[in-house]
Structures are given as structure tokens and as C-alpha cells.
Amino acid sequence: MANRLYALPGSHPSRTGALMLEHKGVPYKRVDLIPAAHRVILRALRFPGHTVPAVTIDGRRLQGTREISRALDEIKPDPPLFPKDADRRRAVEEAERWGDEVLQPVPRRLSWWCIKRDNSSVKEFLVDAKLGLPTSIAVVTTPPIARISGRLNRSTDENVKADLAALPGMLDRVDRLIADGVLNGEQLNAADFQIATSLALLRCFEDLRPWIDSRPAAELVQRVVPDYPGRIPAVLPDAWLEAGRSAAPAA
């Protein structure tokens, strides 16, 4: 049976899953699920959790970017997603963990907050979606989905404000990982694929693109995921953006 990648339209970790499959040269068919209905479908497909990416490969079910990266290295060792050297592997694993647990939720929370207030460009996230229904119908369902997803992801004013205040420090950390050779080295690794998609989604925010484009982090996005679709109009309050605007990029 063909390998399948179950995704949600515009989902950055889904793109991480796709990039890792492509890095390995593993053929797959992408299936985009309809948000909210995705939970029922993933359960029906016997995945244990409710998030994407979820992959079926060689009769195995893999769910979550970190499970997928490790399993892909087992299934097809070359090209590797983790370095052989133990110290370098630890550094990549730690960067991948941080990218998954700390950085990845930030663009997710910010997206739902912004889309709830202005969904005029949501269709741009759906350009290459494989939903099996017309984009116009998907767009119409956006307001209730944005409300539910905003609640599920705790996209509150307080959390979004805190994310924006913390973001410059997170971008500094990405730049340090690049300077240390953990990210954007000769061989791309699991942490590159994990972190680049979060940065790519952050670049979709008109308010935030300049924060990234002045940094080495932008080179990682250009290399790994230059074609991330979508645009989020400038709706974030000026006062919340102040912290980031005044933060100097890492040397």
C-alpha cells in the first residue's frame, strides 16, 4: 500500500513531515484533513493521538514529527536525519526538541489569533491543499474553525502578547544554533526540518517577516522551505510588537 502523509492545510509540522520524507526519497501521497473532522479520521485510521503529521509507511503508523524523524532513519538510514557522532547527535536532538516543544506552538497560536480577526488571505494557505473539496467551501468554514482552534490552542491575548515578547529571544537561539553548526550545516538534519517550517510560517505574518529577514535564520528558511505558501495581514497590535522591534538581532 502507498505511504501516506496525513496533514492539515497550512500546518507547519505537516510540512516538516513532508520535507523529511522527501529528504529520504520516500514516495508518499499527501492527504489533507478537514480541521476538527481530522480528530475523528485519525482515530478511525487507528492513530493514537489527534495531531498531524501522521504517516503510514511500510504498514507502520507514525505520529508526530519527532517519532517520524527517528523512524525514517531506521527505515532508510541514508541520507541520515541525525549525525553519527554522539555529541553532535545530542545537539541536534536537543534543537529538534526545543523546536517542537517551544518554537512550533508560537506561530500556531499567533496564526489562529490573527485569522480569527482577519481571514481575508486564508485561501492562500489552501493553494496546494489536497482536501477533496473546493477551496471556496474550505474558506467559508474558516470562522468557526478559527474560533475552535483558537480555543484549543489557547490563542488568548495574554499568550499571544507573551509569545511576541519571547520571540526575539527564540530567534536569537536559532541564530546561535546556526553559528554553532547545529543548524544549516553541510547536511540538513531533523532539527533543520523542524525549525525551518516554524520560521517559514512566521515569515507569512506581514508584521513579523522583517524580524526574521534581517537574520541568519532567513537563510535557513530560504534553503529548506523557500516556497511556504500563505500570508497573514498585519493585525497584531503595535504595542505588542514593540518588544520585538526594539530587540537587536544576535551578532
The site for ligand GSH (CB under 6 A) is made up of: 8, 11-13, 39, 50-53, 64-65, 100, 104, 108, 152
- Residue with Cβ nearer ligand GSH (68 or 241): 68
> Would strands 54-57 and 60-63 be described as parallel, antiparallel, or unpaired?
antiparallel
Alpha carbon distance 51, 38 (integer Å): 8
Alpha carbon distance 208, 84 (integer Å): 36
> Would strands 4-7 and 54-57 be described as parallel, antiparallel, or unpaired?
antiparallel
Q: Which of 66, 143, 50, 154 is nearest to 108 (CA)?
A: 154
Alpha carbon distance 31, 46 (integer Å): 16
Least Å distance, CB 58 to ligand GSH, is 20
Least Å distance, CB 193 to ligand GSH, is 11
- Residue with Cβ nearer ligand GSH (29 or 151): 151
Task: Spell out the residues 6+ positions from residue 232 whose beta carbon is closer than 8 angstroms to its own.
Answer: 111, 114, 115, 118, 121, 204, 205, 206, 207
Least Å distance, CB 42 to ligand GSH, is 8
Alpha carbon distance 1, 6 (integer Å): 15
- Residue with Cβ nearer ligand GSH (124 or 250): 124
Q: Please answer whether residues 51 and 64 qualify as being in contact, where contact means their C-beta atoms are separated by less than 8 angstroms.
A: yes
Q: Which of 159, 157, 167, 158 is nearest to 243 (CA)?
A: 167
Least Å distance, CB 246 to ligand GSH, is 30
- Residue with Cβ nearer ligand GSH (216 or 228): 228
Least Å distance, CB 56 to ligand GSH, is 15
- Residue with Cβ nearer ligand GSH (52 or 220): 52
- Residue with Cβ nearer ligand GSH (9 or 216): 9
Q: Please answer whether residues 174 and 212 qualify as being in contact, where contact means their C-beta atoms are separated by less than 8 angstroms.
A: no
Least Å distance, CB 17 to ligand GSH, is 8
